[in-house]
């Protein structure tokens, strides 16, 4: 078989356009990537030999190389998240070392690095716009963080660490997926499902049918529980069987913590390698490496923010737990004096129901996915003047439930597209929700003319699937999650930057990336937005006003506990990557226990191994960066406050403020520093005031 034949026949070597998902098979991954990497390596070698320190002689040809790799390897990575299989996993793990090796060689290229520095120091620097300058400066910084300054044994060791870390983090994620998939509990007695809502019974019966119990029904069971969020979370909220809640909870906190999927040794090794890598680069800790490319100036600034949020939330969380115990006692609960982790969600849901006189389940019928999408799309038209419409059938998809949409500007011209993969599929799909780039916006030239390549996003959720002929009826949490991910999508899709390396979320400091996503969550409570989507799926009746008022009243319910929980995770992450030293007296679990003394109000169990499933920091991009959620929440709350100040009922003011937000936060992408972007929207630097006010903690 000739090289040309492979190029013609292998869908992963198309190099551009929408991925042909229907044609892609796991066995095509290795030959495609091996050939592509060989081609790109030759092109990089040629460029190194003839590089010019100009935009057209350096950045443009490099962009062509990186975009082709990003396209092909990005598809494989995407399928690992949404259509995982043993065959795909094997192919991914076989090829991954070659990909890491290429990126390392690329990052450590002396000719390329010196060309970037020459471009920055040369006469043509002033002719570049801010986006181009940011791309060049980021390339220099990234090369330095990739070990371009190392040589000899230090470089060899650095590169070996990069390879091992890539393999370990992939293994960590696979262990969490496999451990989740391996666990289930089948209930057969009606007494075991007491208190559980009809939606959960339908989902659990469907899970039982998929597992082989063909006659399972919502009414008579059997019912299958998994640790997947749509199954686990409602069970903990509603099951009256404390013994079963305890059993499920203990399983959840020991996920991937023993047996063949044990992540304990991986955690130790990952932390050791990261610390060694940091020292090779001349940093004291891995946190310093992480922050070198973030908005926060240093670890002290992060510590300061986290301590401010901890102080604001700790006393509130103590008070909330005391109130919860008193409430449970008032209901005659024998466990009231000794509330455990498997009790808090159950009793907080009962307290919420009594305090605000509604249940989360009562709201589900008002939030069928198609109407939630209508409301979401109505909001973005209201704020940004863009129209979202179905483009189903115009793009290949990886699963029959996946949808495809187009976004058009006010004149009707398409400006972006996105895929939506909404439902939970625990057998093949990673848990959680995320946005990822399929295609980046950029200016491309061909035959002497240039055109704009439109961005395409992947939006992936894990919400409750349609069951028993009903549409996907969403919890309010699932609605917020969809809005959150769509905020990331808007950042990617509404960019006006024409260089891929600074378009959308690219080159945006990691701790500012959550601004547009968290910003969108605020709109779930906006009257116009909510009533635009909340209609009963059978009758079309709008959400009754009393429910809206109760939602508003319940918005800050347990907000102290929620903020303290996020602060706990952020502090643990930062401690592990900054002050902790592998091989010392403390284990990572000991570190978490110590941090918990001031960041939790209910001590966790000795066997709690949450770190073993903490994909964000051990298999995602959040190592020494989990604080980013809190950092960006300050920005997003302050950004939403601009709309509150304009008047949420004032359509003209909302439209004007939306245009300003769209023209700055969304349009500018990574072309300017996020502080400059924020100030261009808000007219000043951010303040924590709006965040604390939105959470009902301002007085504290």
Angle at alpha carbon of residue 452, lines to 661 and 23, rounded to 5°: 110
Residues near 482 by beta carbon (within 8 Å), at least 6 away in sequence:
372, 376, 422, 433, 461, 463, 474
Q: In sequence order, what are the residues at sequence separation of 6 or more whose Cβ sits closer than 8 angstroms to the Cβ of residue 97? A: 163, 166, 167
What is the CB-side half-sphere exposure of residue 24 using CA atoms within 13 A?
Answer: 28
Which among 444, 439, 353, 424 has a CA at the least distance from the CA of 14?
Answer: 439
Q: Token match 């499920």: residue?
A: 248
Distance CA 136, CA 117 (A): 8
Cα separation, 323 vs 339, whole angstroms:
12
**Integer Rg of the chain from CA:** 25
Alpha carbons 472 and 480: distance in angstroms, whole number: 15
How remote is the C-alpha of 64 from its chain's centroid? 27
Q: Residue holding tokens 């471009």?
A: 119
The full DSSP string for 23-48 is: G--GGGHHHHHHHHHHHHHHHHHHHH
Active site residues: 485
Tell me the backbone φ, ψ of residue 460, rounded to 5 degrees: -125, 125
Maximum Cα–Cα distance for the chain, whole Å? 80
Phi, psi of 625 (to 5 degrees): -145, 10
Q: Kindly write down the DSSP assignment for every residue of 304-343, as one continuous string.
A: HHHHHHHHHHHHHHHHHHHHHHHHHHHTT-TTGGG--HHH
**In sequence order, what are the residues at sequence separation of 6 or more whose Cβ sits closer than 8 angstroms to the Cβ of residue 459?**
418, 419, 420, 421, 435, 485, 486, 488, 489
Q: Which two tokens stand for residue 612?
A: 């073993």
Which parts of 157-216 are beta strand (E)? 185-187
> How do strand 414-423 and strand 223-225 relate by DSSP bridges?
unpaired
Q: Which residues of 144-164 are buried (b: 16+ CB within 10 A; e: fewer)?
A: bbbbbbbeeeebeebbebbee
User: Can you tell me the distance from the alpha carbon of 349 to that of 200, in angstroms, rounded to the nearest whole number?
Assistant: 15
User: How many whole angstroms separate alpha carbon 661 and alpha carbon 608?
Assistant: 42
User: Six-digit token pair at 122?
Assistant: 């040369």
Q: Cis omega (within 30 of 0) on the bond before 530? A: no
Query: C-alpha angle 206/232/569, rounded to 5°?
Result: 150
Encoded tokens for 668: 């500018």
Q: What 3-state DSSP class applies to 456?
A: strand
What is the C-alpha to C-alpha distance for residues 190 and 246, in angstroms, rounded to an integer? 18
Contact 500, 266 (CB under 8 A): no
Q: Looking at residue 23, what DSSP letter applies?
A: G
Quote the CA–CA distance of 281 and 564 in Å, as a whole number.
34
Q: DSSP for 612-664? A: GG-HHHHTSS-TTTTTHHHHHHHHHHHHHHHHHHH-TT-HHHHHHHHHHHIII
What angle is formed at CA 378 by the lines to CA 372 and CA 383, rounded to 5 degrees? 130
Bridge partners, 389 (sequence order)? 406
Closest of 611, 613, 608 to residue 342, by C-alpha: 608
Residue bearing tokens 């007085």 = 699
């Amino acid at each position: 078989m000739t090289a040309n034949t492979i190029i013609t026949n292998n869908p992963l070597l198309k190099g551009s356009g929408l991925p042909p998902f229907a044609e892609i098979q796991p066995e095509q991954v290795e030959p495609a990537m091996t050939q592509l990497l060989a081609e790109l390596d030759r092109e990089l070698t040629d460029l190194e030999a003839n590089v010019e320190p100009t935009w057209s002689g350096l950045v443009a040809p490099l962009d062509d190389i990186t975009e082709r790799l990003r396209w092909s390897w990005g598809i494989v990575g995407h399928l690992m998240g949404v259509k995982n299989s043993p065959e795909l996993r094997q192919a991914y793990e076989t090829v991954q070392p070659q990909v890491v090796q290429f990126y390392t060689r690329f990052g450590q290229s002396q000719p390329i690095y010196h060309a970037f520095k020459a471009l920055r120091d040369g006469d043509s620097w002033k002719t570049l716009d801010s986006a181009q300058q940011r791309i060049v400066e980021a390339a220099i910084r990234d090369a330095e963080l990739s070990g371009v300054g190392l040589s000899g044994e230090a470089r060899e060791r650095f590169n070996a660490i990069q390879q091992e870390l890539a393999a370990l983090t992939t293994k960590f994620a696979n262990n969490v997926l496999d451990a989740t998939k391996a666990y289930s509990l089948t209930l057969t007695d009606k007494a075991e499902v007491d208190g559980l809502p009809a939606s959960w019974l339908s989902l659990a019966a469907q899970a039982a049918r998929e597992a082989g119990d063909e006659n399972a029904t919502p009414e008579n069971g059997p019912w299958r529980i998994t640790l997947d969020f749509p199954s686990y979370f409602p069970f903990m909220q509603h099951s009256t069987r404390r013994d079963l809640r305890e059993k499920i909870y203990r399983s959840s906190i020991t996920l991937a913590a023993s047996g063949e999927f044990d992540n304990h040794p991986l955690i130790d090794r990952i932390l050791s390698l990261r610390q060694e890598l940091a020292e090779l680069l001349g940093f004291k800790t891995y946190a310093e490496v992480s922050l070198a490319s973030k908005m926060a100036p240093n670890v002290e600034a992060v510590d300061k923010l986290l301590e401010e949020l901890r102080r604001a939330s700790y006393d509130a969380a103590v008070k909330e737990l005391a109130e919860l115990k008193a409430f449970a006692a008032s209901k005659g609960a024998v466990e009231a004096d000794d509330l455990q982790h498997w009790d808090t969600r159950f009793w907080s849901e009962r307290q919420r129901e009594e305090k605000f006189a509604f249940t989360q389940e009562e709201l589900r019928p008002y939030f069928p996915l198609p109407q939630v999408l209508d409301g979401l799309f109505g909001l973005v038209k209201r704020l940004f003047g863009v129209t979202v419409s179905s483009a189903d059938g115009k793009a290949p998809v990886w699963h029959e439930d996946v949808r495809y949409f187009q976004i058009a500007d006010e004149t009707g011209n398409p400006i972006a597209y996105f895929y939506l993969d909404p439902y939970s599929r625990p057998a093949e799909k990673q848990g959680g929700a995320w946005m990822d780039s399929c295609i980046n916006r950029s200016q491309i030239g061909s035959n002497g003319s240039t055109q704009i390549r439109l961005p395409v996003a992947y939006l992936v959720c894990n919400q409750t699937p349609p069951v028993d002929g009903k549409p996907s009826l969403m919890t309010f949490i699932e609605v917020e999650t969809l809005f959150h991910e769509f905020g990331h999508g808007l950042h990617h899709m509404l960019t006006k930057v024409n260089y891929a390396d600074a378009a959308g979320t690219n080159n945006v400091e990691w701790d500012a990336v959550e601004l547009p996503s968290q910003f969108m969550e605020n709109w779930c409570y906006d009257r116009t937005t909510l009533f635009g989507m909340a209609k009963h799926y059978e009758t079309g009746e709008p959400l009754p006003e009393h429910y809206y008022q109760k939602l508003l009243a319940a918005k800050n319910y347990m907000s102290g506990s929620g903020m303290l929980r996020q602060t706990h995770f952020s502090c643990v992450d930062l401690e592990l990557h900054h002050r902790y030293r592998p091989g010392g007296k403390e284990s990572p679990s000991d570190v978490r226990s110590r941090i918990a003394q001031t960041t939790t109000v209910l001590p966790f169990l000795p066997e709690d191994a949450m770190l073993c499933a903490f994909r964000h920091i051990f298999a995602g991009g959040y190592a020494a960066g989990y604080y980013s959620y809190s950092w960006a929440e300050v920005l997003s709350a302050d950004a939403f406050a601009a709309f509150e100040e304009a008047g949420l009922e004032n359509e003209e003011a909302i439209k004007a403020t939306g245009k300003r937000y769209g023209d700055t936060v969304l349009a500018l992408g990574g072309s300017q520093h996020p502080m400059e972007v924020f100030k261009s929207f808000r007219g000043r630097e951010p303040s924590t005031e709006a965040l604390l006010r939105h959470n009902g903690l301002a007085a504290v």
